[in-house]
Structure 1
Amino acid sequence: MCGITGFIGNNRHFTVEVLDQMVGQLNHRGPDDKGVELYKIKDHLVIGFAQARLSIIDLTSNGHQPMAFEQLNCVFNGEIYNHEEIKAELENLGHVFKTKSDTEVILHSFLEWGTKCVHRFIGMFAIVIHDYSTGNVYFMRDRAGVKPLFIYQKDNVLLFASEIKAFHKFPDFDKTLSESAVTAFFDFGYVPTPYCIFKYVRKIEAGSLEILNTETLTFTVEQYWKINTFYDKPKLDLSYQEAKNHTHELLVSACNYRMVADVPVGVFLSGGYDSTSVAAILQSNRDQKLKTFTIGFQEGNNEAPFAKEIAKHIGTDHHELYCTTREAQEIIPELPFFYDEPFADSSAIPTMLVSAFAKKQVTVALSADGGDEIFAGYTIYRKHDKTMKSVALIPNFIKPLLRTSFSMASTLVPASKSKLKHQLKGFGSAVHQNNLQFANQLYKNQLSLPVHIRNSFLKKQASSLKTAFDDQFNDEMAVAEMQMMIDFNTYLQNDILVKVDRATMSVSLEGREPLLDHRLIEFAAQLPLHYKFDNERSKKILKDIAHQYVPETLMDRPKTGFSIPIARWLRKDLTFLLDEFLSDKALAQSGLFNVPFVSECIKDYRKNKFHHTTFIWKLLMFQMWYAKWMS
């Protein structure tokens, strides 16, 4: 795990000194070692690679990057968990290794198999390789998008980095904002891949391989993996027991792979099914007690007592920390630095706190993100599946009448009741739409700002960005599967994984995601939907596996998750932040906002007359980010 950065092209600022400053911005991602290399390929072409290293595998200087082998140079962020098996295969083909580093395995793999080597990797990674023989530079990102990789490109300058903050140290970095990305942030709470808040920056997409022609600075893009491919395949002809057994085998393999390290490893344990499954599987396979970590709050949702009971049952070395409101609030000023693009998921606060707590004892922590998107954990999947099955039973001649009734009812609901208004419109839409149309409507209803806010808070309405829903889906696919696929490609990758990566890396802790092992994802996508949920339970198959380790009596309770009382804080403890960052003067600085409208919303919010806390929090996060990076 580390931070990587570099530049390619021709510019007077392509110097060792500038590259050193760029990688210095990533010290929190890798405090153990730093490498900076400049390669002058031709008079008009300079390539610079740099890495800030967090030593996890092969702690010696043998793992130093950038690493070279024959005609290849490489910088790499992440882990290749199956590097030992690949290494053995390559040794049988005549390759000779000098280190225990997985970076060396990447280089030999690329030399042997070219870009097809990426299909052999089990892991999380952002890889950049320069090949002198072709002159090309190759960018590879892991299938689920666990590890970030940003590209800045303008004129004859191309920069890359694990985090955008490295670009700010390049003197000619153009910080022009993307107005469409600003709008998208206020819709989603994040800027969706491949876009970025900056006009000339983009994110390399998950499961992508991009080949840069260094003569023309143009890319050829190959999507080497996409979850849609596996949902489109015929469902596997397996009994439920066979499916459960194989899912269990894949889970065990995924968890064990993510224990590969030369440093202490622990697990974040919330007490929910996902993290319990990971911790229980790992503890059952080893004599030494596994370290588990939980954070608790005296206010808001608190899963710490449940996690403690689970840990006691499975026998881990459990550690819990109860945080005060003040400790949680002290994290907020740090958010704009570590989340160096506007980011509005408030659960970043407890995630940063639990990461700092775990870092005192371990260097690697396993998280259990992705279970809901892969195994249908959100209750909304069941709800909408049931809706469409009910609609299918309605005679066609009645559907127009129902549609009219729901539409009329929605017009009677005031704009302030936007959720109910959207629900009525959604039900009205469902009776005359196919699965794809209905899923599209649901997606827009859930993730967009209320119309009366969206149409008024910005001076200029920017065009919408293309999102994951604009991809082509199979019209025959179940609505729930469409939603799972969309959530995997949007919310999981752009919100959850960003949150965990930046939070763990803020304290030089490597986060690993066993439930995002691509073998598990591919298998789960091809399972019949009723293996994932029925009328009674979400995440059915994963829960049945968990119950092999932990009794139902310890597990069956309402899902809560990380939650903090943002609404109360904004109206009481954090009013000083509203005063500083949401004043008329502060709002006017960017030139983006309709200040009178936004100011009125804030005044009404303080008086408890305006109830869109999510919008106010997004405003605050944007303004704090703007003050940090745009001043």
Structure 2
Amino acid sequence: MCGIAGYIDYTGKAGDTELKKMTDALSYRGPDASGQEVFSLNNATLGLGHRRLSIIDLSPLGKQPMFTPDRSLSIIFNGEIYNYREIREELSAKGHAFISGSDTEVILHAYQQWGDECVKKFTGMFAFAIFDEEKQELFLSRDRAGVKPLYYYQHNGCFLFASELKAFFTYPGFEKAIDPQAFRLYVQYTFVPAPYTIFKHTWKLEPGCSMRVDLKSGNIAQQRYWDVLDYYGQPKQKIGDAEAKEALRQRLIKACEYRMVSDVPVGMFLSGGYDSSLVTALLQSGRSEKIKTFTIGFTDAKYNEAQHAAKVAAHLGTDHHELYCSFDDAKAIIPELPECYDEPFADSSAIPTMLVSRFARKQVTVALSADGGDELFAGYERHAALLGIAAKKDKIPAALRPLAATVLRNTPKTVLNKIFSGNTSADNLAKYLDFLQGKTDLADMIDFANQTAAPDTLAGLFTQAASPGVLFRKNEIRKLPGRLDQLLAFDYLSYLPGDILTKVDRATMHISLEGREPLLDHSLIEWIATLPDEMKYRNGVSKYLLRQIVHDYLPREIMERPKMGFSIPLVNWFRSDLRPLFDEHLSEKSLAAHGLLDHKQVAKLLHEYYSGDNYRFTLLWTLLMFQLWYKKWMQ
């Protein structure tokens, strides 16, 4: 796991100094070594920079940039290729010779053998750049799920790329100009969705995509080499519960074992929920050495999972470690968030994620987590809520739906809460009624469920007009015949890479800890996408098949409890001890620094929140995170 950065400069102004500054900005991603190489070409200068966190082959032979023996190809790479040994054997049989034990060298030779198609061979998480000096081309690629980030910038005679935006901030030609369209998207979703970034002329390479830059012409061509929709669009398997359960178990074991390959200590984030308990059980089963597990606890019982994790760890026999965090611990993290997340990012669970990462880093260099289980097996509460709303709509004859909408509009909130089994704020009720009347479809409802507030509420916040267009390939998702497939595909393409994987990558790499995600092995989603719906969500039970496997390792009485999110009680703290943060950074004076938000509308939201409306907290937290980011990076 590492950090990469580079440039193509057509102005002749960039050199070693600029490249070193870009690379050093990512030093925490790779504290063990650094390397830079500058190529002077006919019409451009190319720089490749690398910061190394040594995980596999700790020797100097793993140094990057790495070259083929004839120096015709060079690579910088961030990530892990878990099946590199199998690929190496295949390449050796074709006559390739290796001098190191690193997966980086395998990528380089795989590209030499198969060209662009090499990425289809890789099982892993990756973002890399390969320079072909003979062809004068730069090839960049990102893993299928989007575990590893890759940003790029093209403007004013330069092309920049890096693992994080802050590498661009050091480059003299980079313009930090906020894109109003991306800003609206951030406020809407709590993160800036790919391919956008918060800045103009700056983009994210989307998951499952590759890019080729022709240095002679400056032309850029992108291609999608892998698409989750290809698998959700296939016919469902005809398979029974017992056969499916065992097939899934074997696939999970293989994915987990791949991610134990390391020359440094490995641990596991354990929350005590089904996903992390499953991965821990599969890893510990059959091992004499105890897996190190790490848990963060909170004194507020509503948010505390530590006691559940401890029971799981005790039953499985892991080497368990837990840390209870206080209000002061969490409060101290908030000012650090903009440094860690150099693009506005507002998932508040970044706080406990940073805390548990720091705790684990004291003992291990690699930590596995179980992200992806909710996206694979319909584990989020919104999945059940949306399926329930769609089912209720089906029961109402089309001719009676306008009347039903009128009745619901005048129904007391206590009754609505029972009908919809969830939050029935004015924003949410408006979404439900539009869906009931046919003004929106399920794809729109899924989209709305991931937003901070209704479009009408958000529209009044902004001082600059911008049209976000259609995101997350929603029109393609609409074509999927199954409702559950639409739900899961949308989250896999949006919330998973934009929120979850961004959160974990920055929190872990900020303290030089490599995070690995076994449930995001592409072979799993390719197979699970074609499972019958009832094996994922059956009679109101989410993660049906996954739960059956967990119960083989852990008693039901330990596991069967209400789902808890990985969060802290911020919604209460900001009405008391943390209120000064809202009052200062969301004030008219602070908002005037950029002029992107209507201060009167923000003041209205604050008043509603202080008056007891918890629904407004997520939107206000999102605005606060932007304000802190702006102060850190733009002022």
TM-score, normalised to structure 2, is 0.94
Measure how far apart 1:133 and its partner are. 2.4
The AA in structure 1 aligned to 2:318 is T
Contact 2:353–2:507, Cα closer than 8 Å, also in 1? yes
Alignment correspondent of 1:2: 2
Alignment correspondent of 1:332: 334
Measure how far apart 1:431 and its partner are. 5.0
The AA in structure 1 aligned to 2:31 is P
Alignment correspondent of 1:64: 63
Secondary structure (helix, strand or coil) at the match of 1:74 reads strand
Higher mean displacement: 132-141 or 73-82: 132-141
Distance 1:422 1:630, change over 3 A: closer
Secondary structure (helix, strand or coil) at the match of 1:511 reads strand
Measure how far apart 1:81 and its partner are. 0.5
Distance 1:140 1:442, change over 3 A: closer
Alignment correspondent of 2:307: 305
Measure how far apart 1:563 and its partner are. 1.6
1:579 & 1:12 partners in 2: Cα distance? 48
1:379 & 1:173 partners in 2: Cα distance? 42
Alignment correspondent of 1:534: 538
Secondary structure (helix, strand or coil) at the match of 2:41 reads strand
Measure how far apart 1:447 and its partner are. 1.4
Alignment correspondent of 2:36: 36
Secondary structure (helix, strand or coil) at the match of 2:618 reads helix
Alignment correspondent of 2:382: 380
2:607 & 2:189 partners in 1: Cα distance? 24
Alignment correspondent of 1:223: 224
Measure how far apart 1:544 and its partner are. 0.5
Contact 1:400–1:432, Cα closer than 8 Å, also in 2? no
Alignment correspondent of 2:208: 207
Contact 1:410–1:421, Cα closer than 8 Å, also in 2? no
Secondary structure (helix, strand or coil) at the match of 1:472 reads helix
Alignment correspondent of 2:373: 371
Contact 1:72–1:131, Cα closer than 8 Å, also in 2? yes
**1:40-439 pair list within 5 angstroms:** 40-42=40-42, 44-69=43-68, 70-299=71-300, 300-389=302-391, 391-392=393-394, 394=396, 398-407=397-406, 409-410=408-409, 419-430=424-435, 433=438, 437-439=441-443
The AA in structure 1 aligned to 2:49 is A
Higher mean displacement: 235-244 or 597-606: 597-606
The AA in structure 1 aligned to 2:57 is D
1:68 & 1:311 partners in 2: Cα distance? 45
The AA in structure 2 aligned to 1:115 is D
1:233 & 1:607 partners in 2: Cα distance? 50
Measure how far apart 1:420 and its partner are. 4.0
Contact 1:359–1:509, Cα closer than 8 Å, also in 2? yes
1:112 & 1:610 partners in 2: Cα distance? 57
2:171 & 2:311 partners in 1: Cα distance? 50
2:593 & 2:294 partners in 1: Cα distance? 42
Contact 1:209–1:222, Cα closer than 8 Å, also in 2? yes
1:222 & 1:40 partners in 2: Cα distance? 28
Alignment correspondent of 2:11: 11
Measure how far apart 1:238 and its partner are. 1.6
1:339 & 1:628 partners in 2: Cα distance? 11
Distance 1:105 1:273, change over 3 A: same
Contact 1:601–1:610, Cα closer than 8 Å, also in 2? no
The AA in structure 1 aligned to 2:460 is S
Measure how far apart 1:376 and its partner are. 1.4
1:592 & 1:485 partners in 2: Cα distance? 32
1:13 & 1:603 partners in 2: Cα distance? 52
Distance 1:157 1:266, change over 3 A: same
Measure how far apart 1:547 and its partner are. 1.0
Distance 1:229 1:510, change over 3 A: same
Higher mean displacement: 448-457 or 225-234: 448-457
Aligned partner (choices 556, 565, 578) of residue 561 of structure 1:
565
Measure how far apart 1:136 and its partner are. 1.1
1:213 & 1:628 partners in 2: Cα distance? 35
Residues 506-558 of structure 1 show CA distances to partners (whole Å, capped at 9, x for unaligned) of: 11000000000000010000100011111141100111111111111110000
Higher mean displacement: 571-580 or 52-61: 571-580
Contact 2:156–2:173, Cα closer than 8 Å, also in 1? no
Q: Is residue 448 of structure 2 the alignment partner of residue 444 of structure 1?
A: yes
Secondary structure (helix, strand or coil) at the match of 1:59 reads coil
Residues 423-473 of structure 1 show CA distances to partners (whole Å, capped at 9, x for unaligned) of: 544554555659x92232342254152345312222123212431143413
Structure 1: which 5+ residue stretches go unaligned? none
The AA in structure 2 aligned to 1:323 is C
1:399 & 1:609 partners in 2: Cα distance? 34
Contact 2:334–2:351, Cα closer than 8 Å, also in 1? yes
The AA in structure 1 aligned to 2:272 is G
2:604 & 2:458 partners in 1: Cα distance? 15
Contact 1:22–1:166, Cα closer than 8 Å, also in 2? yes
2:64 & 2:292 partners in 1: Cα distance? 30
Contact 2:5–2:49, Cα closer than 8 Å, also in 1? yes
Contact 2:165–2:342, Cα closer than 8 Å, also in 1? yes
Aligned partner (choices 574, 578, 581) of residue 585 of structure 2:
581
Contact 1:384–1:480, Cα closer than 8 Å, also in 2? no
Alignment correspondent of 2:420: none
Contact 1:36–1:50, Cα closer than 8 Å, also in 2? yes
1:5 & 1:301 partners in 2: Cα distance? 39
Distance 1:39 1:103, change over 3 A: same
The AA in structure 2 aligned to 1:353 is L
Q: Percent identity?
A: 44
Distance 1:528 1:422, change over 3 A: farther
2:410 & 2:221 partners in 1: Cα distance? 49
Measure how far apart 1:289 and its partner are. 0.5
1:491 & 1:158 partners in 2: Cα distance? 28
1:458 & 1:525 partners in 2: Cα distance? 39
Secondary structure (helix, strand or coil) at the match of 2:441 reads helix
Structure 2: which 5+ residue stretches go unaligned? 418-423
Measure how far apart 1:380 and its partner are. 3.2
Alignment correspondent of 2:575: 571
Contact 1:379–1:538, Cα closer than 8 Å, also in 2? no
Residues 575-608 of structure 1 show CA distances to partners (whole Å, capped at 9, x for unaligned) of: 3323432222211010211123323433554455
Distance 1:297 1:359, change over 3 A: same
Residues 337-361 of structure 1 show CA distances to partners (whole Å, capped at 9, x for unaligned) of: 1101110100000000000000000
1:126 & 1:276 partners in 2: Cα distance? 29
Measure how far apart 1:323 and its partner are. 0.8
**CA RMSD of superposed structures (Å):** 2.1
Secondary structure (helix, strand or coil) at the match of 1:447 reads coil
Contact 1:82–1:123, Cα closer than 8 Å, also in 2? yes
Distance 1:22 1:551, change over 3 A: same
Distance 1:294 1:12, change over 3 A: same
Higher mean displacement: 373-382 or 502-511: 373-382
Secondary structure (helix, strand or coil) at the match of 1:331 reads helix
TM-score, normalised to structure 1, is 0.95
Measure how far apart 1:478 and its partner are. 1.8
Secondary structure (helix, strand or coil) at the match of 1:571 reads coil
Higher mean displacement: 578-587 or 168-177: 578-587
Secondary structure (helix, strand or coil) at the match of 1:457 reads coil
Secondary structure (helix, strand or coil) at the match of 1:620 reads helix
